[in-house]
Each structure stands twice: as C-alpha cells, then as structure tokens.
Structure 1
Amino acid sequence: MNIPSVYDDIRPFEPDELQDVYKRLLDNEQFRQVLAYLYPGVPAEAIGAKMMQCKTNLEFQLAFCYGFLKNLMAKASKGWDMDTTDVDVTKRYTFVSNHRDIVLDSALLDVLLYDAGFKTTCEIAIGDNLLSLPWVKDLVRLNKSFIVQRSLAPREMLLASKKMAEYMHFVIKEKNDNIWIAQREGRAKDSNDRTQPSILKMMAMGGEGSPVERLMQLHIVPLTISYEYDPCDFLKAAEFQLKRDVEGWKKSAHDDVVSMQTGIMGYKGRVHYHCAPCIDDFLKNLSSDIPKAKVFDVIAEHIDREIFRNYRLYPSNYIALDRLDGTKEHADKYTEQDIAVFDEYLKKQLAKIDIPGKDEPFLLERMLTMYANPARNFMAVTGN
C-alpha cells in the first residue's frame, strides 16, 4: 500500500521495513535482556530467526504477542472475555474505551478481536511520553501502534493533532484496519471514566464534511473495560497523596515503567470487555438544534453512557460503594466471604505503598473510590 510519507514519523512500520526493525531490536542489549526474561533458556538467535519469518505486523503479533498474552492472563486473571454482540466482525471500527491499563487495554483487545472472528487486530494510539527509549518505540510501532505527539508547542500540537486525525481516517478508509484510542489522555486515577470532548474534536480534524459526518466516517464503538481488581490501584492511591502533599509533584519516566510492569504482571481477577453499538446511528439522528459549541460535549456524554451501562460489576465494586456511603444498600450483591476476600486484598495493596507520611485512611478512601465509581456510574445510567 502507498502510504503518504507525511505519516512516516507516526505510523506503524510497514512490511517492507520489518527486517531492518528486527535487526535493530536484536542488536539492542536491553531488548535482548527482555527476551531472556520472557523466554528463559531460549537462544536469542532462535527468537531472531522466528522474528525474521514474520512478514507482516499481524504475523508478528500472532507469533509472539498472542500466545504471551494468553499465558499471562491464565496466570494473572480469573478469566477474561468480550461481548461483541453489537458489532459486525466483518466491519472496521474505532474503539474508544475507558483506560484501565497503559499496555494491556489495547493488547488484550487485539487478542479478543482476533478470537471473536475479526481478520485483523487494531492500530493503537500511544503517547510519545511512554516512548523515551528508541527500542521501545520500535517495538510498539512493530506492534501496530501510531504515535500521539504530546510534548509540543501549541502551534505544533495543532498541526500534529490534525495529522493524527487524518491518519486515523486513512487507517479506517484505506488500510481497512481497526483503531483503539483511550477516551481521555492518561488513565482516570479514580475510575470515574469520562470522555474528553477534545479527543473527539481531534478526531473530527480529519475526513470530510461537517464535524459529525467526519466522526461517522470513523465508525466509533464505545468499549467498556471492567477489571475485578486493578493491579495499579495502590500506585494510583500513592499518586493522589503525593500530589496532595508535595507541591508540583509529577510522575517520572521511571514511575511510568513501574506502572506498566505492575499493570501487566499484577493479578486482575475477572476481566470483561464489552462493545456497545457503533454510534453512527446516534450521530445521524443528532438534533440540528444543538449549539455547535456543545456538539462534542453531547457526543462525549453519549459515549460515557454507553461505557457506563456496559460495566460488569463485581462484589468489590458494591462493597466499596457501601463502605464509602456507610450503608448496606447493596448487601444482596456480596457475601461475608466476599467482604473478607476484598478486605484482605486491600490490606495487601496498602502494605505495598512506601511514601513519606503515609496516610492510610486517605489511601484506603482513594482505593475504595476507584472501585465504587464504576458502580455509581452504572447505576446513574441504568437506574439499577
């Protein structure tokens, strides 16, 4: 396929570039250390030979990522699945999801899409703040990621956003591939998942016609990701206290690496993905009376409602909600055994936090809020 060169610095690698990428990766000492960790006792040369046999990005994903993720989730979860009842596996979509895990949100989606009968996975929007190491950037572009450029001046940011939007339209229309993008920049630390209208504004900078018509051309599907346990909950709670206590505190690159490792390897309990219907019909029927300045807000609210109503809630969500509200209103949703298991889990997670002036009541409240908010939002839109 002839891809315009303007996208060269952000797009995934193309098949004719893969051999050079493999060589660069295999020559990198850090990458070889990762291989030694993932495949103990397997010579790097044997892995390299297998890589060289992969002629497309999808072949690489199926040869290396697919099996790894299946094995990982067999150890780190109590089961994972996806409901695709409301989508057509022969079509291509832009999946807009809540953001639970830096790496796994899109990686698990790839596996679930393939298992559901899609003939392709998805191209993944990933922020350049996570790609400070050249070999990591190579690896994610090999794994069908395109780069969201964030550390730019306002004028450059506008141009970069337009280019990314145009590339997303190119992926759907010309490459006939799926896309995954988070509903907001960065994870919602308190699990109060809200779509940023600015994400939709960016997406509408590409394509043709009115803003609504441009969004219709991307075939947006709201995607809900539900975790029974968030392995990074204690890290997020610690961030809340550090931001409260340390003026100007910001996460470091090392913090991002720790979050990625913890999110990938940590125990997740049950995990569920749920595809809502594509919003094309909703967009088609939008009232012409909506002020232009409010259009993206209305669409974001619709995506939020779709994400909220498709949460899969677990005993931990209801226990956390009742604990914060000081009631037993949802006691029919959990048992005494569920309470004991959740309390023991929280105790272990809190014990992992090592920060100055550790404020356990505050940290516990933050963690309970993370588990309560999906239940609150689900009830707000369903009335249940």
Structure 2
Amino acid sequence: MHIDFDYSDIRFYDDGDYAQVIQRLAYEPEMRRVVRFLMDGNIEDKDVPPYLLSFKNVHDFQMNFIIKVIKKVQKNSIEDLTSDGLENVDPNKAFLFLTNHRNIVLDASLINLVLYNRKIEGFKSTAIAIGDNLLTIPWVRDIARINKSFIVKRGLGVQEVLESSKKLSQYIRKLITEDNTSIWIAHREGRTKDGNDSTQAGLLKMFQMSSKDSFVENYGALRILPVAISYEFDPCDSSKVNELVTIANEGKYEKGPTDDFNSMFSGLMGEKGRVHYSFGKEITFDDLRALDDNIPKNEKIKLLADSLDHFYHKHYKLWPSNYVAADVLNGNKVFAEYYTADDRANFEEMMKSRTKRLEGDIDQLQKIYLMMFAYPVKNRFKDDDTYQFSF
C-alpha cells in the first residue's frame, strides 16, 4: 500500500536544505549560548557565526558539533554511560530502535553516541522521531531537523490523525526499507513518569498502516530492535511528581507554555548519575510467526507489545536508587544486598529535598516519588512469587 505523500512538513533536513538552515542557526542569538557551553565560554559572540558556518553538510555538523555537545553534556551530568548487546546491531542494517522513554532529548541523543563510540567506519546516525509540541521555538525546530529528527504531529482532529499516521507510517517504512536509515522512536507518546514502562498498542498499529502485508511480513520488514534505557537519577523528578500528584487529585494536568522546554533543558543539564543502554535482538520473522497463531490482529499487536514490555522490564538496569525505593515503600529490607547504608541515606535525603519544594501533602508526594523509582523493581520481579510488593 503506497501513497505518494509529500513529506516536506515532517521529514528531517538533508544536504539540500543545509545551507539555508545553517545560515539561520549561525545568526540565532540562542545558538551563542550553545556554542559557549561547548567551548567553556572561550569564544567571542562575533566568532560564533563563522564557527557554525564552517561545517559543510549535515554529516559534518552532526559529527563535529552535535556529537561534541552531547559528549559535553555527558561529561557534565552523567557519571558513567554503559551499554550491552551491541553485538546485536549490525552496522550495515537499518533498525527501528524502539525504546522505553525517560528523557526527552537524551534517550535518542545517547543512543547515537553509544553507536558512534563503536568507531565503525562509515557510521550513519540514527533518525529521531520527535513530537511537534517540542518544536514550537523556530531555532529548536531547525536544530532538531538538521540533526535528523522527523516530526510526529500532535493535537490533531480525528480525520487529521488518521492521515498524519498513514504518512508517518509510510515515512518510517521508507527510511528503514528503502533508505537503509535506522530510526529511534519511543514506545509510547510522552515520557514514562510513574516508572512503569508500558508500550502503547496504538504506536504499533501506526507502524502497520503503511503495508497490507501479513502481520509477520509487515512488522518483520521494519526490523524492530528493542532497547532498554536506565537512568540512575532523574533530573526531572520534581516536575514529574508534581504532574502525577495533580492528575491524582484533580484528574488532569494542564501543561504550561514553557513546561516542555523546561523539561528538555533540565533533562539535558541535570544530574543523571549512571546511564545504561541494553540492546536486544531484532524481532525476526520467526519471532513474529510465533505470535501469529490465527488470532485477531489486535490480539497479535497486544502480544507484540507485551513481548516488548517483557524485554524492557527484564533488561532495565536496576540501580541502588531503585532498590532503596522499593524497600522504603514495602517497609522492609528485602533488597538490602543491592545497596549500602549510604545509598539509602543519600536517596532518602534526595527525595526529601526534591519533594519539599512542591505544594501538597508530603506523604502523597513522597509516595509518588518512591514509586517512580520502585516500579522497575516491581516489574523485574512481578512473576517471582518470592517477592511481594505493597504498591
């Protein structure tokens, strides 16, 4: 099923767009701050435009500017960046990297850095799916699209959603199957805020809108490869707790005009401790046949979502902060072997510090804070009757 869509409003920028876009960015005042951050302030404002204009194309800009910025973020806010499962990623193939979602900018940026750090000749960066709600500022939109981000449109009417989803689905399939370009996309709309990673079936349904092939052929052609991302600490923890408490008490949370930008900035610059990426194996045609047992398509999609969640839950790297939170909520020390007394004291002090600045019942605030960190432990051991959880 192929429709000749015009992708100009969603595609990432290529070398044909580069000269015009880099010209805009070079003279954008906010880019001075980005360049000064990279250079530790050792650059004059007048030298920023010629510096940015020195990059000749998209690849040059990514390899010699974007990667350096992400490395600087890593140096300033990440204690250690580790990974496993890279042997599952054939550098000559394109994959649909489907990950859990914790950090607006870094989930995708760090997957590119991890792959770049393999030092494989001919490295091609991964395309990135990003919601247009995050791109309301023109220079942010420019730097995202020049960094191989394509746009997922939000807030559309019912009919518009259908057409937009078909276009997005076909664009994703084109990148994978025709352009041999890998893609990062989150397994759900919006970050997981309560710590309970859960794949949205609607996202998986969107993938299959671009093909009339069988379930197996449709999803197999996309070469889905799950990746579990784990952060020791969350620099956006306070804002997430505030949102969750508001939803619990009032039924909904209305975002302010600067909420998304603030979350992007805090997620980039705030302390994250250790970060780990666990790359799974490609979901093969044989794997999909095992799900394809003459059951309705919606049930197959649910089974696929469940299998992805099983991977995220089993491969999320659990940190002392996660185990401490689980024990505090359970009122015991079942997981005490996984953390020290200092780990527990430091985590409890961090929780008190992050929640005392928020309005509301302190017990409710702290319980929600603890659950954010404890849920990955519950998900890891939920099938093991040895462990009981009170939350």
TM range (shorter): over 0.9
Is structure 2 residue 150 aligned with structure 1 residue 149? Answer: no
Cα contact 1:204–1:212 (8 A) shared by 2: no
Which of 250, 261, 264 is the matching residue for 1:260?
A: 264
User: Which string of whole-angstrom CA distances, capped at 9 and with x for unpartnered residues, describes residues 81-120 of structure 1?
Assistant: 2211333233211011010101110011111111124511
Correspondence 1:57-68 to 2 at 5 A: 57-68=58-69
Is structure 2 residue 355 aligned with structure 1 residue 361? Answer: no
Cα contact 1:219–1:279 (8 A) shared by 2: yes
Is structure 2 residue 276 aligned with structure 1 residue 275? Answer: no
One-letter identity of the residue aligned with 1:59: D
Q: Report the counterpart of residue 311 of structure 2 in structure 1.
A: 306
Whole-angstrom CA distance in 1 between matches of 2:324 and 2:249:
28
Q: Secondary structure at the match of 1:312?
A: coil
Whole-angstrom CA distance in 2 between matches of 1:381 and 1:115:
36
Q: Report the counterpart of residue 26 of structure 1 in structure 2.
A: 26
Cα contact 2:26–2:53 (8 A) shared by 1: no
Q: Report the counterpart of residue 389 of structure 2 in structure 1.
A: none
Whole-angstrom CA distance in 2 between matches of 1:382 and 1:176:
41
Correspondence 1:190-269 to 2 at 5 A: 190-246=194-250, 248-269=252-273
Whole-angstrom CA distance in 1 between matches of 2:5 and 2:57:
19
Q: Secondary structure at the match of 1:116?
A: coil
Whole-angstrom CA distance in 1 between matches of 2:336 and 2:172:
45
Return the offset for 1:43: 3.2
Cα contact 1:276–1:307 (8 A) shared by 2: no
Whole-angstrom CA distance in 2 between matches of 1:255 and 1:378:
31
- C-alpha change, 1:223 and 1:136, in structure 2 (3 Å) is same
Return the offset for 1:293: 2.5
Correspondence 1:113-124 to 2 at 5 A: 113-117=115-119, 119-124=123-128
Correspondence 1:67-82 to 2 at 5 A: 67-82=68-83
User: Which string of whole-angstrom CA distances, capped at 9 and with x for unpartnered residues, describes residues 153-211 of structure 1?
Assistant: 11011011010110011111222111000000001111100000110000111245123
Q: Secondary structure at the match of 1:152?
A: coil
Which of 372, 375, 382 is the matching residue for 1:373?
A: 375
Return the offset for 1:376: 1.1
Task: Name structure 2 gaps, 5 residues minimum.
Answer: 387-391
Return the offset for 1:77: 1.6
Q: Report the counterpart of residue 55 of structure 2 in structure 1.
A: 54
- C-alpha change, 1:247 and 1:273, in structure 2 (3 Å) is closer
- C-alpha change, 1:288 and 1:249, in structure 2 (3 Å) is closer
Residues 36-45 or 6-15, more deviating: 36-45
User: Which string of whole-angstrom CA distances, capped at 9 and with x for unpartnered residues, describes residues 299-342 of structure 1?
Assistant: 00011111111111111111111111122211221221211121
Residues 146-155 or 46-55, more deviating: 46-55
Q: Report the counterpart of residue 130 of structure 1 in structure 2.
A: 134
Q: Report the counterpart of residue 316 of structure 1 in structure 2.
A: 321
Is structure 2 residue 345 aligned with structure 1 residue 340? Answer: yes
Whole-angstrom CA distance in 2 between matches of 1:21 and 1:299:
39
- C-alpha change, 1:44 and 1:206, in structure 2 (3 Å) is farther
Cα contact 1:243–1:250 (8 A) shared by 2: no
Q: Report the counterpart of residue 7 of structure 2 in structure 1.
A: 7
TM-score normalised per structure 2: 0.91
Whole-angstrom CA distance in 2 between matches of 1:212 and 1:330:
41
One-letter identity of the residue aligned with 1:93: F
Determine what percentage of the aligned residue pairs are the same residue.
Answer: 38
- C-alpha change, 1:53 and 1:34, in structure 2 (3 Å) is closer
Q: Report the counterpart of residue 16 of structure 1 in structure 2.
A: 16
Question: Size of the alignment, in residue pairs?
Answer: 378
Return the offset for 1:121: 1.6
Task: Name structure 1 gaps, 5 residues minimum.
Answer: none
- C-alpha change, 1:342 and 1:241, in structure 2 (3 Å) is same
Return the offset for 1:382: 7.5
One-letter identity of the residue aligned with 1:202: M
Return the offset for 1:284: 3.4
Cα contact 2:246–2:252 (8 A) shared by 1: no
Whole-angstrom CA distance in 1 between matches of 2:175 and 2:184:
11
Cα contact 2:26–2:52 (8 A) shared by 1: no
One-letter identity of the residue aligned with 2:310: R
Whole-angstrom CA distance in 2 between matches of 1:318 and 1:57:
43
Cα contact 2:291–2:303 (8 A) shared by 1: no
Cα contact 2:245–2:368 (8 A) shared by 1: no
